[in-house]
A and B are shown apart, each in its own frame.
Chain A
């Protein structure tokens, strides 16, 4: 794949997901590293409600708006990275499938006060075989756990990095993304032109 053709005006668009429970700081993280103010796009979804009494035989349809926050980092003239926050509510899991299509990998943000909120995201990326790291968002006043304590609480694969970050600080967010990309590179198949990386 070679996109260096100067006649092609389009950069290559890449995607990393920022996942985690509701209120864990996904939008803050995205906003801190994005070169644009975080934007939000919404999908209107019509779903047939389940588990509701239906006496008339008429389908119960509900329209739900799912908003996705995203930000952008121009890496170089040929590459633009988009960060997409995944919808926090579990019932929107099916959106993650579409969002995760073609994503390089994911950062799962965790709040140690509500660690269980990140389990769903961890499960999702493990099952899909998508590369991810866990970043503990250190809120003011939150008790600080060692990353290894968090790893054992999540029962995480020892190869998955666990880092601390402050979602409000750009350099902390960028460092977190760098950890993710290094992790992805360590497990990416070696390309012939690059020789064997270890």
Chain B
């Protein structure tokens, strides 16, 4: 069996060996408001108190700004469980977060023009 810090315990046929909500202690409400596009980044500060192996794995994915969606996908955990883990890390000072800021005006011209320019560079 793989050591816990190597990621989720997975069995080829049974899948994840630890039920998803076990890693969040059964909690389904993160303490911080997050959605799939909320970005988090490690502060580099010490992690206060013991966090589980999934917390460690999550923190390891946050060296650069990373979205909640990407972390959930990498950890193979439901988004809501991932949000609980990440908000634990925010609460203990290991992560800083930035909520998506487009809610006020998704049709902002300067944003759309930045998207247009960025997409043209992909061609």
A interface list, Cβ under 8 A from B: 1, 3, 9-15, 33, 36, 39-44, 65, 68, 70, 72-76, 78-82, 84, 98, 101-104, 131, 170-171, 174-175, 177-178, 181-182, 184-185, 187-191, 193-194, 197
**B60 within 8 Å of A by Cβ?**
no
Inter-chain contact A75/B119, CB cutoff 8 Å:
yes
Inter-chain contact B113/A185, CB cutoff 8 Å:
yes
Interface size on B, residues (CB 8 A): 42
B interface list, Cβ under 8 A from A: 20, 35-37, 39, 41, 64-65, 67, 69-70, 72-74, 78-80, 82, 98, 100-103, 105-123
Inter-chain contact B112/A41, CB cutoff 8 Å:
no
Contact A102 B106, CB 8 Å, known A43-B79, A181-B119: yes
Contact A102 B37, CB 8 Å, known A75-B117, A75-B118: yes
Contact A103 B106, CB 8 Å, known A43-B78, A44-B78, A178-B116: yes
Min CB distance A148 to B, Å, is: 26
Inter-chain contact B116/A185, CB cutoff 8 Å:
yes
Interface CB pairs A-B, < 8 A, 22: A12-B111, A13-B67, A14-B115, A15-B100, A39-B74, A43-B79, A44-B20, A44-B80, A70-B36, A72-B70, A75-B118, A76-B114, A76-B118, A79-B115, A79-B118, A104-B106, A104-B107, A104-B115, A175-B123, A178-B120, A181-B116, A190-B109
- Looking at B41, B103, B122, the one whose CB has the most chain A CB atoms below 10 A away is B122
Inter-chain contact A12/B118, CB cutoff 8 Å:
no
Residues of the B chain whose Cβ atoms lie less than 8 Å from the Cβ of A98: 35
CA distance A163 to B66 in the complex (A): 33
* 8 other A-B residue contacts (CB within 8 Å) besides A104-B107, A188-B107: A12-B101, A13-B67, A14-B111, A41-B36, A68-B69, A79-B111, A185-B112, A191-B109
